[in-house]
Amino acid sequence: MNRRTAIRRLATFFLATASLAEAQQAGKLFRIGYLDHSTAAGSAVLVKAFLHELSKLGWIEGKNFTIDYRFGEQKSERLPELAADLVRLKVDLIVVSETNASLAAKNATTTIPIVMTNPGDPVGTGLVVSLAQPGGNVTGFSALGPELNTKRLEILKDAVPKLARVGLLMGAGGSAGRDLSLKELRPAAVALKLKLEEIDTQADAKGLESAFKTAKQKQVGAIMTTAARPFFAERKRIVELAVKYRLPAIYYSKAYVDEGGLMFYGADVDDLFRKAAHYVDRILKGTKPADLPVQQAMKFAFIISLKAAKQIGLTLSPAFLSRANQVIQ
């Protein structure tokens, strides 16, 4: 065999090997794990956005991927075991929602890629080393939750004449997200000359009713919630209680306004879930999580519902309304 023939055969071998590897990869049924602190019903709208974007990228559930869902049912203590369960299933990648779910997944594995959708401060909570160079097996997107809370507090003061007290509904028990929210909100309230009434709240029917009664007893003039997924799951009930107790409220997700809430200011979380689908696509095709920078939310909106304002007897000035991206009649 001469040298030229040997080289030709070697090249043919490598091309055939590469083609076989590509065919095997193309025919593989990937297994995705999904870990969320909330409930299936409470997360449905976000999961739908994620799956729809995946389908646009050529991913068809049951054909080239399956997805294993694990929901904490609003109980943070369940997340570590649920994360461990996904690891035992040997999923190819784990998609996580907020900070607590992200931390549980990171503690459960150092090898399976993890894509975050909307934690508040991934660097501050130790999820990644830096946004530009996350390192390890975790990457994804950040909703800038703690920073935006301060802006929401400012908006409430501008919306409600002579506002002196704001009730802050917080998930009962400690969490990384809660601590970050308080770190930002407490000094902001002082600067705005507002009294921040911190109300520990169980995110169920009885707990939420009790929290709103407490808010009225404390004579708060408006309310807001921390960006916790248990509250998101109960957003319809929260909006109804805000109307019942005639309390102006600003929310961290547009979904609250869709349910009849007064105001929303924040990141487009649906957009973050759609973008997460693109990271999932790239990682399943071979990109390492450490090579994908953590991206912060870029799309923000301020939406006001005049119908909700009328329900609680709140008159909003033309100047205030002009600041909104959208005013719903």
Secondary structure of 93-134 in the HEC alphabet? EEEECCHHHHHHHHHHCCCCCEEECCCCCCCCCCCCCCCCCC
- Does residue 2 sit within a domain? no
Instruction: State whether 172 and 263 are in the same domain.
Output: yes
- Decide: pTM greater than 0.85: no
Mean pLDDT computed over 224-240: 86
- Does residue 138 sit within a domain? yes
Whole-number pLDDT of residue 227: 73
Task: Please tell me the total count of domains within the chain.
Answer: 2
Contacting residues for 260 by C-beta, under 8 A, at least 6 apart: 236, 239, 240, 243, 305, 307, 308
Q: How far apart are CA 150 and CA 155, in angstroms?
A: 9
pLDDT (tens digit, 9 = 90+) per residue, 125-181? 899 999 999 989 999 998 776 668 889 999 999 999 899 999 999 887 655 556 667
- Does residue 274 sit within a domain? yes
Q: Which domain holds residue 97?
A: 8-144+269-298
Instruction: State whether 110 and 176 are in the same domain.
Output: no
- Does residue 3 sit within a domain? no
Instruction: State whether 276 and 218 are in the same domain.
Output: no
At residue 228 the predicted structure's pLDDT band, cuts being 50, 70 and 90, is confident
Instruction: State whether 294 and 227 are in the same domain.
Output: no
Say whether pLDDT at 10 is over 80.
no
- Does residue 1 sit within a domain? no
pLDDT (tens digit, 9 = 90+) per residue, 301-327? 899 999 999 999 999 999 999 999 999
CATH number at residue 67: 3.40.50.2300
What average pLDDT does the structure give for the chain?
88
Whole-number pLDDT of residue 226: 82
Instruction: State whether 21 and 116 are in the same domain.
Output: yes
Instruction: State whether 197 and 285 are in the same domain.
Output: no
Q: How far apart are CA 221 and CA 218, in angstroms?
A: 9
